[in-house]
Amino acid sequence: LAEMGIQVIQGQGPETLVIDPKSIEWGTVSPQNFQYRFRQKPGPKNPLGRIKFMFPNRFNVYIHDTPARDLFEKSSRSFSSGCIRIEKPILLAQYLLSGKQSWNSDQISAALASGIENTVSLPKPVPVHLLYWTAWVSPDGIVQFRKDIYNRDEKLLKALALPAPSKKRE
């Protein structure tokens, strides 16, 4: 576990402890008495990479870095578990932190190189708008289609087939 940057955590809130996994008698642990959580630290082996951008949502979706850089070469983008993998996270961090004097590009690079986890609040909130498209027209005028991995097209087609709501006259 340790070589993957995974911590074993016991307890909640202020009573949280990171414990050595070798100190646990795993043979005695069952679903009924399981009292641990696992957390993988940010870094080169973490699927979320070195940078994770949190934004308010009820689905625990993040915009994040990735160590699997080769996935950006593939036409399918459905290799994540619902989160949004970003190709140039450092540029996004620089843009988002441009209003914070203590976070220029050198300081961002130094923080990443240190391996120490930082939580940085933005100087002001930035609206996040996510779009899920399975069809669009590319800049060269070619219609593009992709697989509907979240099965939303059928629901959308049904909604589009409904009669338009009538306007009430006042």
Active site residues: 64, 83
* Dihedral pair phi/psi, residue 151, rounded to 5°: 55, 50
Q: What's the token pair of residue 60?
A: 């625990």
Burial class (CB in 10 A: 0-12, 13-18, 19+), 55: middle
Neighbouring C-beta atoms of residue 89, cutoff 10 Å: 21
d(CA 72, CA 64): 13
d(CA 27, CA 11): 20
The DSSP H or E segment spanning 143 is strand 143-145
d(CA 42, CA 6): 10
d(CA 61, CA 53): 9
